Structure 1
Amino acid sequence: MAFCDVTKREGETMPKPRLRWLAGLAGVLLLVVAAGLPQGVRAEYGDVVINNYSEAAGMRPVIFPHWFHRIRFRCKVCHADLGFKFKAGGNEINMLKIIDGEFCGACHNGEIAWSPENCNLCHSGKPGLKTQIHKSTVQTLVAPVQAGGKK
């Protein structure tokens, strides 16, 4: 049986897709995606790892995909309008502030982007990650100096 009968007779409206089948497909896709998610996401180049308070509160560190956001917004949106400092860990961000609409909560409010109740979407880092910009040029240049000039 076809997903949607696209033939149309004069005076008839186009038939709607079979919603049950579509919902079933969506459910299967959700299960496949959920089963494939790792238990701890690794930060990739340019991601900001935020772990000022997370592990102390029993949560995984936050992995903030900076470039994913940067593609969509100009720097001023977050760093001027929302008050984010240009330093990993430079802000006193906590869940109360986010729920009150500050920092990440300005967009992650359930209308613009998912709401703070979806903890694991942000708190997805491997335990033990330190607050940093992951694999930044600064880390690459400073590490050899701190190790006595040896790589």
Structure 2
Amino acid sequence: MNKIPIKIKYMICGISAMIFLLFLFGIINPFGLNDSLQKITGYFFGFSFNNLDYLAISSIPIFGMLLNSKRKEFKTADLIKDILIIVLFVIITISIGLYILTFIGKPTNPLIPQYLITEPFFLYSTLTVGIGIGLPFLLINRTEKLDEINEIGIEK
């Protein structure tokens, strides 16, 4: 994280805080796509969002900065790419999570309509967002081995 300029660190933290406040006060709904998802899939996904979900989603720029800190040198374009990579992985894991919900989230009570899909446990949406944030860190390895570079920084 020492390679990232301090102004950009403050800007990323400010953007994350602003996104969290917009989520918290209801100005932006992160998954306000229920109506369009219902038209496309025929299911209504009933999610209960809490502050932990909002915190995980709004911290994506900070995690993008952490992913960028694994690079050899800092470039703003690479920082934006890393943030977009994390957003892409979050969207993919949420899509997979919604697909899984169509199998395990259907109600068993005959009085509840079958098109209403609910979370199987309380932090399901937080878990899917967390997996989406963590996957780029597991799949993308940008660090060099320390024994390949000596103290001066010249490769052997």
TM-score by length of 1: 0.30
TM-score, with normalisation over the residues of structure 2?
0.29
Larger radius of gyration: 1
